[in-house]
Structure 1
Amino acid sequence: MYVIHLRYTGALAEIDDALDAHRLYLQRQFDAGAFVIAGPKVPRDGGVIVAVAMDRDRLDAIIAEDPFSQQRLVHYEIIEFNATRLAPGMHLPQLP
């Protein structure tokens, strides 16, 4: 799995202008099963996405589709980890 930390590098006005397109992108990734959690940081200087386990090249291709990435509005820090414990009733999704 991956934790993707987004740090805004663009002005908030630029982020806001791209936000609707970014949200559509997120929805496509949730629908595809690639992302399981996403949201803005507090304070609002970036965001966090949790992605399922997949090849890193595939994740990089997915991130390249983000309007924030295409407009160079964020810096991404990607942390890969192996989830070994879950709360009862939770399941680890994985892309085929």
Structure 2
Amino acid sequence: MFIINLTYKTELEKVDQFLNDHIEFLNEQYELEHFLASGRKIPRTGGIILSNIESKSELEKIIGKDPFKKNGVADYELTEFVPSKTCDELKFLIK
């Protein structure tokens, strides 16, 4: 499992030019069951995505399709972790 930390590297006006395409990308990844949660940081400096992809290289390929990545408006930091404790609603995350 990975936490994907997006940090915008340009002004929000440029980020917003690709926002609808980014949302379509997210929707596609949710349909494929690759992403579990996502949202904006506060203040709005980027976003966070929780992914259940197990392979870093596979996740990097998926991220390469993100319009934010393709258009150079965000940097991506991947943090891999193994869930060991959750609330009852998220027990499915523990393998």
Same fold (TM over 0.5): yes
Partner residue, 2:93: 92
Partner residue, 1:69: 69
In the aligned structure 1, how far is the partner of 2:82 from the partner of 2:47?
A: 21
User: Counterpart amino acid of 2:85?
Assistant: R
- Alignment length (residue pairs): 94
Residues 8-47 of structure 1: pairs in structure 2 closer than 5 A = 8-47=8-47
Deviations 1:61-85, CA, capped at 9 Å, x for gaps: 0000000000010011110001111
Calculate the TM-score normalised by the size of structure 2.
Answer: 0.94
C-alpha RMSD of matched pairs (Å)? 1.4
* Structure 1 gaps, min length 5: none
Calculate the TM-score normalised by the size of structure 1.
Answer: 0.93
* Structure 2 gaps, min length 5: none
In the aligned structure 2, how far is the partner of 1:65 from the partner of 1:53?
A: 15
User: Counterpart amino acid of 1:44?
Assistant: R
Q: Shift of the alpha carbon at 1:93?
A: 8.2
